[in-house]
Amino acid sequence: MNDVIINWARSGEAPQRITMHDGALRVRRSQHCAIRLHGWGIAKEHAIVFQIDHQYYIRDLGGLGGVKVNGTRIGEFGPLSPRDRIQIGSYLIQLSAASKQGMQEASNRENQGPKDLGLQAKGIADHDHSADDKPLHLASKQKSDRTAPDLKGDAQLLPPISQIESEPLVDGCDHRQGEQASDCSFTRAQQLAKQVSWLRAAAFTELDRQGRRAGEHPLSRLEDELRSICLSLLSTEEGRREDLAALTESEKLTLIQATIDECLGLGPIQTLMNDPGISEVMVNGPDAIYIERAGCLYRAHFHFSSEQSLRHVAERIAAQAGRRLDLAAPTLDARLADGSRVNIVLPPLALRGTHITIRKFSQKLKSLSDLVSLGGASLTLASFLAWAVRHRLNLLVAGGTGSGKTTLLNMLAREIDPGHRVITIEDAAELQFDHPHCVSLESRLAGHEGLGAVSIRDLLRNALRMRPDRIVIGECRGGEALDLLQALNTGHGGSMSTIHANSPRDALSRLEVLTLLAGLDLPVEAVRAQIASAFHLVIQTNRFADGQRRISSISEISGLEGGNIGCRIYFV
């Protein structure tokens, strides 16, 4: 097994090196480690360099600046070669083989993806997953017994890779993203929040002094002006404030970008919104931000500089959506410009500050083949679902919150015949499937005067006059259930909807209750008969303890049996 020499240095300091043998080495700011780096942007646990099958890789474990390889921020990268330039803070790190043979082998393996980690190319740039979209930590778990290095002989080494991946941090988020938060990370995040608060106030003061207003200029021009002002302010204050004088160039750029995000964007959560691996962002007040990645929740080390700053971001979201958000209307459901769903609750309804919950809008269209590759269903089950959609069976997708109902509905809808006219109806537009003849309708809440509301039920009634071949309802949650049943029983086969329920039987019971909410005093027997003849299959989805979302069962509705709706399980 070949050893490598790890070299690191920064401007003004003598280069350092260490020879790496088997196992792994951690990079952090503590003095009790093999590779110790200094600086405000270095985390308590910043990165790990490890070896698998004679090849070397680096993984980002946390830190504001993250880890860059050849100028690109990464979550994990490898196999490393002597030509790769690793940047952490102001440090430059490079590997060199301890022998000519090792150098040649490292070069030969440069373009070979590591099989045990599920990578298809040389590295994962900025947290991308493998070709089959399998999360990296799940891929590494499958081979953990074979790939974990032997760490018994060196106290400097980290726990096995599989152990690191399977233990969510109490105070941090996924280490592949770089939001892992140790005590040191939170301290630096608080320091950054204070600096952002000062720089933001100073920048707006300078804009006011120049007689400029935010709404007078295009956003891009205002961003350039803010960046210029921030650079000038930092240059002026460096000689007066020790905390600013200690910042490296990369840390200054991070501070300026964080300030611009808070002034013009979504503040510290803008970075999280730009990460494709994050599916939800939850803000529980100015100093508590959580994310969901691969079905698991983690705490990010980002902070808002103040409750006022968080409130400004919330009001900016409401203004962009053309909605009202104040003490008279303290809650908001809206969509961001990229299609992401956002919910906002203001104090005093929210006791610990303004709460913002964002469910991100996926930019990638997924199909049933993706469901199979992600482990959400078997190939046989996915093939059956595709057959059911093509043969115009009416489908009801049931599951709990966050179980993947809408995602599955998107996948199913992609199997619809391109020659069919499809009308989608939703509260907040989430359905996104590439269909040439699709009409998308979205309900609308009442305006400031309490007028102008358009419900899903209104849209469904109107859709029946639009010559639909199929109707897709994002979620059935009210009296529109009756109109949907009528539509399914009058020739609109192949329609689909979702419903919140914990089992297929519960889904049918809840659909029965929702139908009765239409207020027509229908007998229960008539409602059950309508349900039994309207839907053919109930597809149950669940989110399991490991964060994985899977189809747990498919049930057939077999008609009325003794006054009750018959339900037979096809797949489990």
User: Where are the chain's structural domains?
Assistant: 4-151+160-166, 183-359, 368-571
In the chain, the percentage of residues whose pLDDT exceeds 90 is 25
Q: What is the 3-state composition of the chain as percent helix, strand, coil, each rounded to the nearest 5? A: 30, 25, 45
pLDDT top residue among 553 and 114: 553
Distances (CA, A) of 562 to 148, 526, 528: 58, 13, 11
Going by C-alpha positions, the residue among 345, 373, 343 that lies closest to residue 358 is: 343
Q: How, if at all, do strands 47-52 and 341-345 pair?
A: unpaired
Residue 41 binned pLDDT confidence (cut-offs 50, 70, 90): low
Q: Which of 106-110, 371-375, 525-529 has the highest mean pLDDT?
A: 525-529
Please report the pLDDT score of residue 466 as a whole number.
93
pLDDT at 90 over 80: no
pLDDT top residue among 122 and 545: 545
CATH of 368-571, one of 3.40.50.620, 3.40.50.300, 3.30.1510.10, 3.20.20.100: 3.40.50.300
Contact 480, 457 (CB under 8 A): yes
Quote the tokens at residue 150. 């032997």
pLDDT top residue among 101 and 447: 447
Mean pLDDT of the chain: 77
Report the C-alpha dihedral over residues 242, 244, 246, 251, rounded to 10 degrees: 160
Please report the pLDDT score of residue 547 as a whole number.
79
pLDDT top residue among 64 and 139: 64
pLDDT top residue among 459 and 302: 459
**Overall average pLDDT of the 132-161 stretch:** 33
Q: Was domain 4-151+160-166 assigned CATH 3.30.1360.30?
A: no
Report the C-alpha dihedral over residues 140, 143, 147, 153, rounded to 10 degrees: 90
**pTM for the full predicted model:** 0.60
Which residues have CB under 8 Å from 338's CB, separation 6+? 273, 360, 361, 363
pLDDT digits (tens, 9 = 90+) for 167-219: 333 333 343 433 343 445 556 666 777 777 788 788 877 777 776 665 555 56
Please report the pLDDT score of residue 387 as a whole number.
94
Quote the tokens at residue 58. 């680096």
**Overall average pLDDT of the 307-331 stretch:** 88
pLDDT digits (tens, 9 = 90+) for 389-448: 999 999 999 999 888 898 899 999 999 999 999 999 988 788 887 788 999 998 888 776
Which residues have CB under 8 Å from 36's CB, separation 6+? 28, 29, 30
pLDDT at 371 over 50: yes
Exposed / middle / buried, residue 251 (Cβ in 10 Å: 0-12, 13-18, 19+): buried
Q: Name the 3-class secondary structure at 294.
A: coil
In the chain, the percentage of residues whose pLDDT exceeds 70 is 77
pLDDT top residue among 145 and 45: 45
Instruction: For 245-325, list the strands marked E by DSSP.
Output: 278-284, 289-293, 296-300
Q: Which helix (H) or strand (E) holds 57?
A: strand 55-60
The whole-angstrom distance between residue 168's C-alpha and the CA centroid of its chain comes to 16
How does DSSP assign 336-402, residue by residue? -TTS-EEEEE-TTTSTTS-EEEEE---SS---HHHHHHTTSS-HHHHHHHHHHHHTT--EEEEE-TT
pLDDT at 275 over 60: yes
Please report the pLDDT score of residue 216 as a whole number.
55
Residue 375 binned pLDDT confidence (cut-offs 50, 70, 90): confident
Name residue 137's beta-bridge partners. none
Spatial separation of the C-alpha atoms in residues 230 and 199, rounded to whole Å? 7
Please report the pLDDT score of residue 274 as a whole number.
84
Please report the pLDDT score of residue 58 as a whole number.
87
pLDDT at 506 over 60: yes
Please report the pLDDT score of residue 355 as a whole number.
96
Q: Was domain 183-359 assigned CATH 3.30.450.90?
A: yes
Q: How, if at all, do strands 123-125 and 86-88 pair?
A: unpaired
Residue 146 binned pLDDT confidence (cut-offs 50, 70, 90): very low
Spatial separation of the C-alpha atoms in residues 190 and 303, rounded to whole Å? 7
Exposed / middle / buried, residue 449 (Cβ in 10 Å: 0-12, 13-18, 19+): exposed
Q: How many CB atoms lie within 10 A of CB 572?
A: 10
Please report the pLDDT score of residue 188 as a whole number.
64
Please report the pLDDT score of residue 141 as a whole number.
34
**Overall average pLDDT of the 104-127 stretch:** 37
pLDDT top residue among 120 and 297: 297
Which residues have CB under 8 Å from 389's CB, separation 6+? 395, 412, 413, 415, 416, 494, 496
Q: Name the 3-class secondary structure at 27.
A: strand
Distances (CA, A) of 139 to 144, 147, 317, 369: 9, 12, 37, 18
Quote the tokens at residue 297. 């929740």
pLDDT top residue among 36 and 158: 36
Going by C-alpha positions, the residue among 565, 456, 557 that lies closest to residue 509 is: 565
The whole-angstrom distance between residue 244's C-alpha and the CA centroid of its chain comes to 33
